[in-house]
Amino acid sequence: MRLHTERRADRRLDLVYRIGAGLTGLILIGFGIAGMMIRLPLFDTQGEVIAGLSTNGALSFLSIAIGSLLVGAMVLGGTFASTVCVVVGVGFIVSGLANLFLMSTDFNILAFSMPNVIFSFVVGLLVMTFGMYGRFSGGLTEDNPYRMHRESKHHGRVPAPRAEHEGASTRAEDGAPRAREGGDDPVYRAGHEAGRRGAPGGASALKSPGRHRRTGE
C-alpha cells in the first residue's frame, strides 16, 4: 500500500518515518566518514575509538552504506521508509547480540566493544520504533491508513450472505408452483400456466414434463 500524503493521518505518519530514517542515517554516515578519514585497517579487531565507539575500516564502510540506505528511505518516505526502519532496527539488535559474543574472540572483524553493543541496541530499538509507529500497534484510530487497508482486505474476503429463497422452489398464493425467475425451460413454463388456468392435464403436465411433451405432439 501507499500513503496518501494529502491526508492528515498519512502525512503525520510519513513525517515520523522520514525523521526517524533521516536522523539515524545522517548519524551513521558521519560516524563512517570519520572512520574512513583516519584510514583504519579493514578488519582490525582492536580498532580506534571515535566518539566513544571503536571502529575499523569495515565498520566505517558498513556504517556509510546503512546510513545511505536510511537517507534514501527518508527521501522516498511512506511505507518504504517504515519498512526500511523496521528492517534496519532488527538488524542492529541482531548485530549487537552477535558481536556481544564475538568481541572477545579473533572473529571480532568489526572491532566491537561494549559501547558499540549498547549503541547497537539503543539505535536498533529507536529506529525500529520509528518504523512501527502507527503501523503495527494496537488501538489505531479510525483514520489510520494501515487500519483502513487491513479492514478493506478483511471485508473483501467475507462472502455475501445467501438469500434464504435462493435455489428453492416457491409457491404462489393459490397454491400452484411458481416458476423460478429466469427459467429457460419452455415445458416447465407451459405446464405452470396450464396449472394456474385450471386446464385439464395442467397439473400432470407440471409434474411430468415428458408426458406433457407427448400429449402436445
| pLDDT beyond 60 at 91 | yes
Q: What is the pLDDT of residue 188?
A: 57
Which residue would you say has higher pLDDT here, 9 or 62?
62
DSSP 96-140: HHHHHHHTTSTT-TT---HHHHHHHHHHHHHHHHHHHTTTT-SS-
The confidence band for 140, taking pLDDT boundaries of 50, 70 and 90, is low
Q: Which amino acid is at 77?
A: G
Taking CA atoms, 7 is separated from 68, 133, 197, in Å, by 28, 17, 65
Q: What is the pLDDT of residue 18?
A: 93
The confidence band for 83, taking pLDDT boundaries of 50, 70 and 90, is very high
Mean pLDDT of 37-49: 85
What gap in Å lies between CA 125 and CA 85, rounded to an integer?
Answer: 10
Element (H, E) at 178: strand 177-178
168-184 residue pLDDT tens: 444 444 554 454 444 45
145-174 residue pLDDT tens: 666 666 666 655 544 444 444 444 444 445
200: exposed, middle or buried (Cβ count in 10 Å: 0-12, 13-18, 19+): exposed
